[in-house]
Amino acid sequence: MELLLVDPPKPGWWLLRDTVMPNLGLAYLASYVRRELGDDVDVEVLDCAASGLSWRDLESKLSSGSADVVGVSAITCTFSAARRVCEMAKEADPRVVTVVGGPHPTFLPGEVLRGCPSVDVVVRGEGEATLAELLRKLMAYGSIGPLRGISYREGGRVVHCPPRELIGPLDKVPPPAWDLLPMDRYRMSAWGSRVMVYVSSRGCPFRCSFCSEWVFWRGVWRAHSAERVVNDLTTLSEGYGKDVIWFCDDTFNVDRSRIARLCRLIIERDLNVKWGVEARVDLLFRDLDMLDLMVEAGLFWVLVGIESQSKGDLALIRKGITREQVERVVKALRDRDVIVQGMFIVGLPDDDEEAILERARYAARLGLDFAIFTPLTPLPGTALFYRARREGALRILDYDKYDFAHAVLDTKHLSYGEVQRLVLRCYREFYSSAPRVLRGLLSRNEFRRRVYWHFIKLFLGMV
C-alpha cells in the first residue's frame, strides 16, 4: 500500500515572508506507520511549501501518482486547503481513500463528512495508532469499518466510533521521519536555515477558555523524557545542521524536574544548541531559580501568553496568572538578555477602545522585545465557539479567517470591524517606539538584532 501525506500549498505570514517550517504531525505519522507496518506500506510526505509546489503541481502529482491513501491534517483556518487536497485526490482516482485529521476535523467530524463528499475518514485526536490500524484494516479487508478514533460514512449515515486511548508514555512514539522531509529547504526569516521546530510534549493541564488545545488532548499533558529530547536535538544538530530549535509544545514548562534534567544533559553532552519555548508565566515564576541553568543550556527566547493587563479579564478567560508574576518573570528574563515576546488577546467580551489600547501601553511598559496582538478567535472545541454559534454571534463564518489575524466577533462595545482596526493600532503603538527599535537594531544579542533588522528591511521594502 502507498500512503501519501500532504502538507498543501499555503501562503506565508506577511511578517515572516520566507519562513518555511515542516508539519511535524505528518512526520510523526510517517515514522509511526513505518515502524508498525514496515515494508507493507510505502510512505511519502509531500511538503508543498518547502518543495515550491503550487496547487497545479500538486494536482499533477496526484494525477500521476499511485497513492492508495492520501492523508492531510488541518487546523480551522487551513481546513479549506485540506478539503481541496481530498477533492483533487478523488478527481485523480475515485478509488483513493482520503483521510483528514487535526483539531478542526476532530471537533467537527459530522460537519466535515456531511459537507465534504471527498473526505472518506476523519481521524479524531491523536492520530498515529489510529492511522496505522486503519491502514491494516484497508490492506486486510479493502474497506473502511468500525475503528476506535475515526468517524466515517456507512450506508449514507455518519458513524462516530468510540475514541482511542492516548499513547503513553510518549517515548513510545518514534522521532519524526526527518529523512522524508526536505530538511535543507526549511528556514526562518532573520535566522536562516539553522532553525527547526520540535515537539517535546503534548497537551496542557490548564483550562484557558479560549484555547482548544487542552480539549484536543483531553486535558492531559505527556512529555518525552529528557534523554529522548536530547537525543533528538543531537540528531537535528549533528545530522542536519539545525542548531536553533523552537519548541512547539503547548506548554513546555509543566515539569520542573524534566526541564532541569534536560538542561543538565545538554550541558554535559556539550550540545551547542540555542532554543526557544512557549511557556506559562506562573510556571516560569515558580522556576525563577532555574533561569540561569536554562540560559546556560541555550535558552534564548521565551514566548509568554499575557493576554491582558486586567485582573477581571484574566479571571474571565481562566488564565490563572497575575500581573505580579508577569512583571517579575519579564524582568528576570530581560536581566539575563533572554528575548521576551508577549501575546495579548484583543476583543474580549467587555473590551472597549480604551481597554484594548491600554494592552499595547502595558506591553510597552513591561519592556517586551516583541508583542503579538490577536483577535479573540472562537475555535471549534471551545465553549466560546459553541456559545457564539448558538447565539448567532459569529460575525464571520468563513473558517479561513479563523487565523488569529482577522476579528470575527463583536464585543459589548465594539463591532468586529472596530476590533480589527484596534488590533492594527496596538501594533502601531507598540512598534512605533524609536528607542525600542534602536535598542533592537544595536543589540549585542545576535538573535534580537537580526529580527529587528529583518523587520526594518521588510517595512522599507513595503514603502
Provide the CA 247 distance to its chain's centre, in angstroms. 10
Between CA 137 and CA 148, with CA 143 as vertex, the angle to 5 degrees is 50
Residue 346: CB partners within 8 Å, gap ≥ 6? 356, 359, 373, 374, 375, 376, 407, 419, 422, 423, 426
Report, at the CATH architecture level, how domain 175-462 is classified: Alpha-Beta Horseshoe (3.80)
d(CA 394, CA 410): 8
Residue 101: CB partners within 8 Å, gap ≥ 6? 25, 71, 72, 73, 74, 122, 123, 124, 127, 131
Put the strands of the sheet holding 69-73 in their side by side order: 42-47, 2-7, 69-73, 97-101, 121-123, 150-154, 157-160
Predicted confidence at residue 390, as pLDDT, reads 86
Enumerate the domain spans of the chain. 2-160, 175-462
Instruction: For residue 280, count other CB atoms closer than 10 A to its CB.
Output: 23
Q: Is CATH 3.40.50.2300 the right assignment for the domain spanning 2-160?
A: yes
Provide the CA 170 distance to its chain's centre, in angstroms. 18
Residue 210 C-alpha cell reads as: 479560549
Instruction: List the beta bridge partners of residue 301.
Output: 276, 339
Backbone angles phi, psi at 98, to 5 degrees: -105, 135
Predicted confidence at residue 14, as pLDDT, reads 61
The yes-or-no answer to whether 2-160 and 175-462 have a common fold is: no
- The predicted model scores a pTM of 0.94
Predicted confidence at residue 304, as pLDDT, reads 97
Low-confidence stretches of the chain (pLDDT < 70) are: 12-17, 459-463
pLDDT per residue over 351-373, tens digit each?
999 999 999 999 999 999 999 99
